[in-house]
Chain A
């Protein structure tokens, strides 16, 4: 079902809902995966992002998203300069990403707060995005929900422990997906929630010994 507000909107900086608004949202998503302010980012542009990104301000839109700007923020136009001023070092490259990717895809390697995260995201039309990779794990995250992402050792009982931590605080799970590289290694867990995870639930999940990294990502507007 389509809402009339999906049709009349979003309010955004031009010129392209997929190359500009969607690109900005990919940057915002990556920003929320590093702890604190991003300090450096390597941005690889794939497909149509690489071919026509410059003319659509895709580079500026991603940089603005990394700075925390929303798609309707006019600072997107100046974001490359603003990034430099904010101490965010950016490097851009055109790349042919391996595997099957949507034509409008970018891979962002972002450092901040002593952490590094690698995010692959596609802009799939009308400003909507799909995050397809985090730190080499395949995922499918739209950012349309508040999202809980964490990496844990692949041991039994993790899902039960996490879902009961959420349930104790009344946090409801809309969707969940777990993927791993190999049995007994690390697995990434992505939970889309109705409301952002409460601080108490986050604390309880962080205390589970097998959990190494955990992030609460707001709905990507």
Chain B
């Protein structure tokens, strides 16, 4: 797979392929699996994403600690100014997947479990615009995978290494490129959508209450989906981000490497270290320990 998104985009443009189609061909060319096997694995991922959204939307799940649950249903049934749009559908779907994750349901790590809501949120939110075939969705997932593979090599996909910018931030960049692919946009537009999205998530810290993948993770998936939609909208309108996407990704890696350890999944800083964050974590963890005895 590619180690430069700029190179991948150049090759895709030269060969007249979408970014997702290039990803599918490159994955099969790497020789470990045939194209059919790659597509079958992504089809299963797509099916699990749909099931997770359907499981989360009714709003009856509670997380292991009891801190989160029911917010996907609130947003889906909300009466805000954007109710009924792709935007709201994406937020609700992203929340639904993360609520399922927090309740020990089945999800697809994309790229991680903590950021698993963003990609299905954006793709299945966008597919409410008009009917989209599974083949198109699978191609979009492959585009997301290509972006994630580049981020894995150039920066990081782990909150413990790079903060939340490496989890929901990377997921948002992946979802932005995938969303452009899904809508038939060009590889260049996909790369700009990714850059425009990730510039907005740079520096985002990983500060989960009690170290649990609940607060703020569930909500960060929704705001991550919103960032991706912003990147898609700007890129498809012709906005071009001046810094090449590879350099934006490198910047994320550099910020992650110099980020204080308090902000890297240790619950030592950020929201986790607020008076209320500490109090909630103390109460819930004590409760959990009691439950296990």
Do A and B form a real pair? yes
Alpha-carbon separation in the docked complex, A51 to B267 (Å): 11
B85 shortest CB reach to chain A, Å:
26
Alpha-carbon separation in the docked complex, A125 to B113 (Å): 11
Q: Which A residues lie within 8 Å of B116 (CB)?
A: 14
A62 within 8 A of B: no
B42 shortest CB reach to chain A, Å:
6
**Which of these binds chain B: A72-80, A111-119, A150-158, A172-180?**
A72-80
Q: Which A residues between 8 and 44 are near B, CB-CB below 8 angstroms?
A: 8-18, 20-21
Task: Tell me the nearest residue of chain B to A61, going by C-beta.
Answer: B104
A198 within 8 A of B: no
Contact A57/B64 with A13-B104, A14-B107 known, Cβ cut-off 8 Å = yes
Whether the pair A2, B160 counts as a contact (CB closer than 8 A) is no
Interface mask (A36-80 → B, CB under 8 Å = 1, otherwise 0): 000000000000100110111101100000000000101011000
Whether the pair B104, A7 counts as a contact (CB closer than 8 A) is no
A127 within 8 A of B: yes
Q: Which B residues lie within 8 Å of A76 (CB)?
A: 104
Whether the pair B64, A15 counts as a contact (CB closer than 8 A) is yes
B45, B112, B141, B284: the one within 8 Å of A55 (CB): B284
Q: Which A residues lie within 8 Å of B41 (CB)?
A: 5, 9
Whether the pair B145, A4 counts as a contact (CB closer than 8 A) is yes
B256 shortest CB reach to chain A, Å:
13
Whether the pair A3, B288 counts as a contact (CB closer than 8 A) is no
Q: Which B residues lie within 8 Å of A92 (CB)?
A: 292
Q: Which A residues lie within 8 Å of B207 (CB)?
A: none
B44, B104, B109, B212: the one within 8 Å of A52 (CB): B212
Whether the pair B45, A15 counts as a contact (CB closer than 8 A) is no
B105 within 8 A of A: yes
Interface mask (A181-203 → B, CB under 8 Å = 1, otherwise 0): 00000000000000000000000
Whether the pair B107, A12 counts as a contact (CB closer than 8 A) is yes
Alpha-carbon separation in the docked complex, A4 to B35 (Å): 12
B215 shortest CB reach to chain A, Å:
11
Contact A54/B148 with A21-B109, A126-B109 known, Cβ cut-off 8 Å = no
A14 shortest CB reach to chain B, Å:
3
Alpha-carbon separation in the docked complex, A1 to B292 (Å): 41
Whether the pair A2, B152 counts as a contact (CB closer than 8 A) is yes
B38, B106, B112: the one within 8 Å of A11 (CB): B106
**Which of these binds chain A: B10-18, B26-34, B244-252?**
B26-34
Q: Which A residues lie within 8 Å of B105 (CB)?
A: 13-14, 74
- Number of A residues, CB within 8 Å of B: 38
Whether the pair A11, B44 counts as a contact (CB closer than 8 A) is yes
B245 shortest CB reach to chain A, Å:
16
Whether the pair A1, B30 counts as a contact (CB closer than 8 A) is yes
B102 shortest CB reach to chain A, Å:
5
Whether the pair A7, B110 counts as a contact (CB closer than 8 A) is yes
Whether the pair A1, B1 counts as a contact (CB closer than 8 A) is yes
B210 within 8 A of A: yes
Contact A14/B108 with A51-B211, A125-B160 known, Cβ cut-off 8 Å = no
Q: Which B residues lie within 8 Å of A13 (CB)?
A: 104-107
Alpha-carbon separation in the docked complex, A18 to B63 (Å): 18
A28 shortest CB reach to chain B, Å:
17
Whether the pair A127, B30 counts as a contact (CB closer than 8 A) is no
Whether the pair B148, A7 counts as a contact (CB closer than 8 A) is yes
Q: Which B residues lie within 8 Å of A15 (CB)?
A: 63-64, 101-104, 113-114, 212-214
Task: Tell me the nearest residue of chain A to B26, going by C-beta.
Answer: A4
Whether the pair B114, A5 counts as a contact (CB closer than 8 A) is no
Interface mask (B114-146 → A, CB under 8 Å = 1, otherwise 0): 101001000000000000000000000110111
Q: Which A residues lie within 8 Å of B212 (CB)?
A: 15, 52, 55-56
Whether the pair A126, B45 counts as a contact (CB closer than 8 A) is no
B48, B65, B112, B288: the one within 8 Å of A126 (CB): B112
Alpha-carbon separation in the docked complex, A17 to B107 (Å): 10
Whether the pair A125, B110 counts as a contact (CB closer than 8 A) is no
Q: Which A residues lie within 8 Å of B107 (CB)?
A: 11-14
B186 within 8 A of A: no
Q: Which B residues between 145 and 167 are near A, CB-CB below 8 angstroms?
A: 145-146, 148-149, 152-153, 157-158, 160-161
- Pull 8 A–B residue pairs with CB atoms less than 8 Å apart, ordered by A: A1-B1, A7-B110, A8-B42, A9-B41, A9-B110, A11-B44, A12-B108, A12-B109
The 8 closest A-B pairs by CB, nearest first: A4-B145, A14-B101, A7-B148, A52-B211, A2-B149, A15-B213, A55-B212, A54-B288
Residues of A within 8 A of B (CB): 1-18, 20-21, 48, 51-52, 54-57, 59-60, 72, 74, 76-77, 92, 103, 125-127
